Structure 1
Amino acid sequence: MTTWEYDRHRAEVAVQLGLLRETLAGVDLSVVVPTCPEWTLGYLARHVGGAVRWAERLVGTRATRGIPEEEVPGIRGPEGDDPAALDAWLAETAELVVRTMGGAQADTAVWSWSDRHDAGFWARRMTHEVAVHRADAAIAAGVPYEVAPDVAVDAIDEWLEIVQFVQRSDAEDSAAELRGAGRSIHLHATDVPSELNAEWVIEFVDDGFVWRRGHEKATVALRGPLTEVLLAFYRRRSLDSGAVEVLGERGLLEFWLERASFG
């Protein structure tokens, strides 16, 4: 990861937290989140803020192992679901992560659960952790969801990298089933400039899958505005929402969506 990418990601974590706060403003925090049906909006806010604080602690301490939650100050947030207290806690979380990640470099050694062990991993991971859960919050609150095109593109890149990592590292995970030569998926964002290269080809091979950016004929294609492709690919929006188009063997895309896993 370059210094520019790291600076972009670490700043974006705070941007996404700010947008999450805007989404939650004035909303009933007891509302159930349809895309995470075991959560309320209040729980979602705590989950997101807690995840960022955990990552901040890892980077801040230059952790060489995973840190138990009880060792992370303020990870659970304020008691109760007082909106003002929860909002202040999220604001404090944003300030904390900007300050801590600003004191590290992209290649600063930090433990992670992935095959990348540096601060750059956590800046990128938290950007998309917040951005995607912000979509969950927007859906629950019934408000529009927007995300910067470069963030959306990078979120899809990162998701593909995570699923590949899970497939390599956990033979028991459902991602291990994403294999079998001769099949492919094409993701095509239709509303962004060509220089953003917001198209992906996922090709199944005998021992897993590979992916690349590009426009190629595939077994099945998922087309639509970039934000909608992102939401459908992250299983936040139904393929039948009317916002995206599926061309070709829909069953293969459904096979992917059922098995692509975070581990």
Structure 2
Amino acid sequence: MHTNLEFPELLQLIDERSTAFRAAIAAAPDLDVPVPSCPGWTLADLARHIGEGRHAWAATIAAGPDTATKSTEKGTPAPQERDALLAWLATATQAMLDALREAGPERGSWAWWRRSQSPRTCGAVARHQLQEIAVHTYDAQLALGDPQPLPAPVALDGVEDFQFTCCATTAAWPHQPAVVDYHATEGRSWRLSLSADGARVTRLSAPTAGADVSATGPASDLVLFCYGRLGPDAVKIDGDTRIFDQLIAWDPGA
């Protein structure tokens, strides 16, 4: 039986992935190294994005469940000197973790996913923030030429979070109805049903017939495929590949 990561596990894994991100920044020969998976960005740009984003989420969570917009708080400007930048990143991450811990998983929070299947709670924010730092840690490692797979617990939760948070919506699917399955080789599967009623996700107890197209691979590869870090050749695709092209091009709004 599948169970989601518990809130304390999410916070611990955010901390671990943030540490791995800082380790990549610390190991870089230069902060002007370009990040191939974030066109136009250098490692310095990526680090600034991470730090400012954690400060903004810390302030948003602290503002409480009734806030109508995400905070524009960015903290102090990102330092240019590497050691100071690393300390700034650690402070930003700790501020977000402290805000999440104080609020608890059940408290409401502003979130951009108004029409998804994910709740607008601090627990759901923590879940998605884990994926944010995990994928950007991969980006930083890729810039150094040594990308590492996402840890299995992070990746398995990441496939589901992407489906429930980023894909599920009540916005009408503008094409022919379709069924898309995702199969992680670690033994978990999900089904995305697309129709005029929107996009809805269900967990599958086992691979099941009826999909128009499916993607199969290790959970890390599925997450990185979903976020556009890996191409379709990185996973095994069966069925009508045009549906993935339609999904990638679709912008249903949050």
Kindly indicate whether the alpha-carbon contact (under 8 Å) linking 1:189 and 1:223 is maintained by their aligned counterparts in 2.
yes
**Is 1:228 the equivalent of 2:221?**
yes
Residue aligning to 2:181:
186
Q: Which residue of 2 aligns with 1:55?
A: 57
Q: Is the 8 A contact 1:201 1:211 kept in 2?
A: yes
1:68–1:212 CA distance, 2 compared to 1 (3 A): closer
CA distance in 2, matches of 1:216, 1:247: 13
User: Which residues in structure 2 correspond to 1:9-28 (within 5 Å)?
Assistant: 9-27=10-28, 28=30
Partner of 1:107: 106
Aligned equivalent of 1:216: 208
Which deviates more, 133-142 or 230-239?
133-142
Q: What is the alpha-carbon distance in structure 2 between the residues aligned to residue 46 and residue 221 of structure 1?
A: 36
CA shift, 1:42, in A, is 0.9
Does residue 199 of structure 1 match 2:194? no
Aligned positions, number: 243
Cα distance 1:153–1:59, how it changes in 2: closer, same or farther (>3 A)?
Answer: same
Q: For structure 1, which runs of at least 5 residues remain unmatched after alignment?
A: none
Question: 1:49 Cα deviation (Å)?
Answer: 1.6
Map residues 118-197 of structure 1 onto 2, 5 A cutoff: 118-164=121-167, 167-168=169-170, 176-177=172-173, 179-181=175-177, 183-190=178-185, 192=186, 194=187
Secondary structure at the residue paired with 1:37? coil
RMSD: 2.5
The 1:10/1:30 distance shift into structure 2, 3 A limit, reads same
TM normalised by structure 1 equals 0.81
**CA 1:178/1:245 → structure 2, altered by over 3 Å: closer, same or farther?**
farther
Shift of 1:3: 11
Same amino acid, percent of matched pairs: 27
Query: How far apart, CA to CA, are the structure 2 residues paired with 1:236 and 1:178?
Result: 25
Separation in 2, partners of 1:96, 1:235: 29
String of CA shifts for 1:25-48, please: whole Å, max 9, x gaps: 221221222221021111111111
Partner Cα separation in structure 2 for residue 45 and residue 9 of structure 1: 21
Unaligned runs of 5+ in 2: none
Aligned residue in 2 for 1:238: 231
Aligned 1:244-255 pairs, distance under 5 A: 244-255=235-246
- Cα distance in 1, alignment partners of residues 159 and 135 from structure 2: 11
Give the Cα–Cα distance (whole angstroms) in 2 for the partners of residues 147 and 153 of structure 1. 9
SS of 1:25's partner is helix
Shift of 1:67: 4.8
The equivalent residue for 2:94 is 95
Which shows bigger deviation, 3-12 or 27-36? 3-12
